[in-house]
Amino acid sequence: MSLMRMRTGKRGEELAAAYLAEAGYRIVERNYRCIFGEIDIVAEEGDTLVFVEVKSRRSEAYGDPQLAVGREKQKKISRIAMHYLQERSLRHRLARFDVVAVKLLSSGHKIELIRNAFELAFG
């Protein structure tokens, strides 16, 4: 991954975490890693555990950032979330998947929160 893409992703995650905190989410963990991959942000909103995927773009050339969370990415995030819940004995906890789309444009940043962006995905 290029240094520019890493910086874009890191900046997007910083903005997303601040946005979520301002929206009333409590950030539990950032960049949770396991054998299946990584989830950008794990947060709580009320009594719901929220697994958040952050997608950032520096231009609109490739479309909206959230479009990058396709079926395969959803399956991967689902697998990681299940591992997280099992590892922490939280299997009976209410949980959902949100996506935060961050556009880092020269005209200013645009952040869009998509609550309940997708359902648990398998196979």
**Domain ranges across the chain:** 3-118
Q: What DSSP string runs through the chain?
A: --HHHHHHHHHHHHHHHHHHHHTT-EEEEEEEEETTEEEEEEEEETTEEEEEEEEEESSSTT--GGGG--HHHHHHHHHHHHHHHHHTT-TTS-EEEEEEEEEEETTEEEEEEEEEEE-----
* Confidence tier at 107 by pLDDT (50, 70, 90): confident
Q: What percent of the chain has pLDDT over 90?
A: 66
Q: In CATH, which of 3.40.1350.10, 3.30.200.20, 3.20.20.70, 3.40.50.620 is domain 3-118? A: 3.40.1350.10
Reported as a single tens digit per residue, the pLDDT across 15-46 is 999 999 999 999 999 999 999 999 999 999 99
Predicted local distance difference test score (pLDDT) of residue 1: 56
* Confidence tier at 111 by pLDDT (50, 70, 90): very high
Predicted local distance difference test score (pLDDT) of residue 69: 83
Lowest-confidence range among 50-54, 60-64, 104-108? 60-64
